[in-house]
Structure 1
């Protein structure tokens, strides 16, 4: 049927399949932790396995990788909470790309540290306000 098994004994079991096609795709991403926005370019090879099934191989810089929606980590903070946008999204929203590229060096360095947790400070502030309020109420009742 157009697919044949090679007769060469050194390639026993190898099935010749029709050539597929390759395309370059640029995928935009955003880190949900540090809000970094960036793009990755993939070479996507689509072909048939000879049994009617489609095979898609994703490569980046010559190395086979997982598809963009699987296992992406932020190159800035290393977080695995990453979302994708529709292909070409950032081309139509250049201000996002420009804003992400224009991060001052001081903020760049600060972004590498973990943010200070606010909950302990908020609880301390609330406690002080409650204590002060109780003291003021006590003073008002005595007079």
Structure 2
């Protein structure tokens, strides 16, 4: 799962924030400290044997995006941009660009396919003693169960 998590973080780096805002930092793991705004992959669940003979497994990966809260309204406006369904600041659009073309494997061959399924948990998060506004993105990943 580690290479998939790193590939998703790399895809998230394609986000383009409006001029004057700090660049989105991204990690494929839960960081000790955050340089906001920050995207990272977190916990996951794994469903084995979605098809017979170890044909397909499905992972549900929870990712988080945290934004600093120097100004509550501005922070939430930035988070809204990151959580939008499209546009240069959209995490969904940046991540799903790594799906590959029709018939191609996703994430450079690490998965058969994936999609950003849901945003949830839009709220205040505490991370290492600092409070951020943030949300969770649920990513469903499908891959060969034999590898």
State the TM-score bracket (shorter-chain normalisation).
under 0.3
Higher RCO, Cα 8 Å, sep 6+:
2
TM-score scaled to structure 2, two decimals? 0.22
Larger radius of gyration: 1
Q: Which has the higher helix share?
A: 1
